[in-house]
Structure 1
Amino acid sequence: MGKLDKQYLHQEQIHDIENGGSGSSGESGLLCPGCSMGLQRFANQFTFKCFFVLLLSLSVLLSGIFWVLPRYTIQTRFDAKDEIKLSATVQAYFRLVKPASQLIPYIERLEYDIYSEIGLPNTKVAVLSMHQSGASESEWTDVVFGVLPDPMTVPINPVSLSVLRSSIIELFLQQSNLTLTTSVFGNASSFEILKFHGGITVIPVQSASFWQKHEIMFNFTLNNSVSEMLDNFSAFKDELKYGLNLSSYENVYVQITNIHGSTVDPPVVVQASVVSDEGLLPQRLKQLAQTITGSPAKNLGLNNSVFGKVKGISLSSFLNRTLHATTPSPSPAPSPQTDYTEPPKSPYAHPLPLPPHQPFKSLVLTVKCLHRCLLL
């Protein structure tokens, strides 16, 4: 019997070693068979169907996680639908010193603030895009908004469009401010006009009432934007005065037009007029017309590297007439005066009758008497 016990114990030790057990503890030997049976029972119950359901559940969970996470990254930019962008015939741009992720949840509030500043009846304001400026960690956000008719099937009437144009130009020239909810949006800056149906005309650093009293004398085209012209306006005006050979008492006034209604896209049409404290005589107007028309080679005195080449110089009809007008010849010097002066004869005076001549009357009477005597 002892020999059999030893063989049984030896076989049990070998079995423990093969199954990773130490064989030194009786308790371990009792637990391992139970664990093996539990695993075997789980393996029998875990069919291919369960495995497929588990795999499908994991895939749905992972796809849900990857669908939720990108929503936080997409919120760094916003774009309206294409039909809304196409319907906005008036579009403008400004910048906010806040990350786009903090502003996008308040788009409706931003639209309300903008409408409160420039909105008109039968119009509405829509934010067209909101993009992070530059790098993703930038604190600047570029905002583009549009003014649309409400309802969208009816265009904005001309009167409202004119009022809206004046309001937007004032914002661009910083003659008024775009006031927003400061606690949410901060302050707006870098206001630009991107598109305005019918074009825009900007009068820089001058009184708009000037053009109510004076006419445009000439115009020309430059491949610059309105913003570029304003940035270099002081140099532009000085160079233009030099190119026109203006005197110290003469000045030039200009207004700048972009036919597409943009302050950021070229070209521009510059409309100008010259005024003088002493008035402009016909001879001086003719000199100006000759200087303007003969100036393409001189580029109207403008720096080519800054303003480019002047194109399409055109005179107004008024100034064009002075160019072809003949100069009146000087009147001749008066002849020297004599010692006497003859009073001028009135063109309405009639010649006076001759005074009666007495000798002639006596001769007629004598002839009549002789004739009577002969008849007797």
Structure 2
Amino acid sequence: MGKAGRAEQAFPNAAPATTSSHRRCGTFVGNLVNGKCVSVMLLAVGVFLSALLMLLHLRASGGGVPDVPDIPTEIEGGFVLLVPHSEIASEDRRLEKEIYNQIGVPNSKVSVSMRPYDYTNTTYVKFCVLPDPRNTSMSIKSIDALRTSLIRLTLQQLNLSLTPCVFGNPLCLEILGFPGGITLMLPHNASHAGPVQPLFNITFDLTIREVREFLEEMKDELALILQKRPDEELFVKLTNMNGSTVATPVTVQVSISLRDHSNFLHSYRLKQLAQIIKAWSPRNLGLNTSIFGTIRDLKLSPLLEAFLPSLAPSLPPMPTPSISWPPISEPPKTNVYRDFLCPALVKKQNEATPHRRLMRVSSMVISPKLSAWLHRKYAFEGKMAAPTLVVPVPEKKMT
């Protein structure tokens, strides 16, 4: 017992020291654990916020499906029916179904509106292809298929077949709007041609429909200027970025292909084309301004630009046919021709009702472009003057 007492006297503070050491260690471990918890909580909050922001972004862009564009799709078209509006006003649902059966794509629906057209006993139909449900989007594959169908309908490669006894045959189908734009390759068999080499792009303040009306005139004039050879074919692409065949402007890409589909144009021919285009660019490429207006935004293809270095001296123009073209500084042309929304309808009504009262007027009153075309045509044929146009006057409705 004495030894024990001496031991306690020798180490009087041993137990308190041990207790204090344990207390300090516990405090350190607690602080360490609390620090890790805070870090983990901050990391978790950061991950949660990132996931939330990503989810909101994906929902705003169409649900995160990679095949869906992030723009709302609304596609519009229109055509004319040779049926009185009063007879088919209640047939809108049937018309929607018939249009959808021919051009419809998954997750879409067709909506139509009808109104009396400018001529007696005719109806103008406007249709829209919308996503279904409305707050979703159609897939890119569906949109491309729909664009192809509408372009083929416009080019009359595909017929919009409606119930004849109810709607008759539609005329003058036009695309009024298509997100992402539309491009028409002309002539239609261009996809079966050989290697097509783009030469240049130009822009007209016209519509695709108007350029198509005077397409052969444009190709003939360009063929003269470009000195097109018998073994060459000339193609054009018409593009409207608004996706409309009846809205301006239109970008025209001119290309040439050899009829021998296994060969490309030789370099000397490409150099000649580059020189011709550069020489004729100040002269509107020889295109009649009274028909096509003044071209703008002429851009050579990179293939031709290689033959015209920017630092090279001016190249002398290649010999070209001597043709008298109208001066560039002509008065601006009027847009009267655009009032004729459906030329095929005018032709059909002329054939169907030859007894209608006709009015003889100067062709310039009707359309400067059509007048210029007639005078050019008769000049080439060696005739003195174009005949006076005979224009039908629409019948007035009885009140």
Q: TM-score range by the shorter chain?
A: 0.5 to 0.7
Distance 2:210 2:126 in 1: 20
Distance 1:89 1:291 in 2: 43
Helix, strand or coil for the counterpart of 1:324? coil
Match of 1:100 in 2: 85
Match of 2:12 in 1: none
Match of 2:286 in 1: 301
Distance 2:147 2:122 in 1: 27
In the TM superposition, 1:65-214 aligns within 5 A as 89-127=74-112, 129-134=113-118, 138-210=120-192, 213-214=195-196
Distance 2:122 2:284 in 1: 40
Length, aligned pairs only: 238
Match of 1:316 in 2: 301
- Displacement of 1:104 in angstroms is 1.5
* Gap runs ≥5 in structure 1: 1-86, 327-376
**What one-letter code is carried by the residue in structure 2 that aligns with 1:132?**
P
Distance 2:289 2:181 in 1: 26
Residues 262, 211 of structure 1: CA spacing in aligned structure 2 closer, same or farther, 3 A cutoff? farther
Helix, strand or coil for the counterpart of 1:269? strand
When the two chains are superposed, the root-mean-square deviation of aligned CA atoms in Å is 2.2
Distance 2:88 2:297 in 1: 46
The answer to whether the 8 Å contact 1:244/1:300 transfers is no
Q: Which moved more, 1:196-205 or 1:161-170?
A: 196-205
TM-score by length of 2: 0.56
- Displacement of 1:211 in angstroms is 7.0
The answer to which structure has the higher helix fraction is 1
Match of 2:212 in 1: 230
Distance 1:194 1:211 in 2: 29
In the TM superposition, 1:324-339 aligns within 5 A as 324=309
The answer to whether the 8 Å contact 1:217/1:315 transfers is yes
What per-residue deviation string (whole Å, max 9, x for no partner) do you get for residues 255-307 of structure 1?
11111111111211111112345853222211211211232222112111111
Distance 2:100 2:206 in 1: 31
- Displacement of 1:210 in angstroms is 5.0
Match of 1:255 in 2: 237
Helix, strand or coil for the counterpart of 2:220? helix
The answer to whether the 8 Å contact 1:200/1:258 transfers is yes
Distance 2:309 2:178 in 1: 39
- Displacement of 1:159 in angstroms is 0.8
The answer to whether the 8 Å contact 2:76/2:178 transfers is yes
Residues 211, 219 of structure 1: CA spacing in aligned structure 2 closer, same or farther, 3 A cutoff? farther
- Displacement of 1:151 in angstroms is 1.1
* Gap runs ≥5 in structure 2: 1-71, 313-399
Helix, strand or coil for the counterpart of 1:242? helix
Report percent identity of matched pairs. Answer: 41
Residues 324, 276 of structure 1: CA spacing in aligned structure 2 closer, same or farther, 3 A cutoff? farther
Distance 1:302 1:253 in 2: 16
What per-residue deviation string (whole Å, max 9, x for no partner) do you get for residues 82-115 of structure 1?
xxxxx76210001111121221111100000000
The answer to whether the 8 Å contact 2:203/2:296 transfers is yes
Looking at CA atoms only, which structure, 1 or 2, has the larger radius of gyration? Answer: 1
TM-score by length of 1: 0.59
Distance 2:257 2:169 in 1: 40
Match of 1:71 in 2: none
The answer to whether the 8 Å contact 2:73/2:179 transfers is no
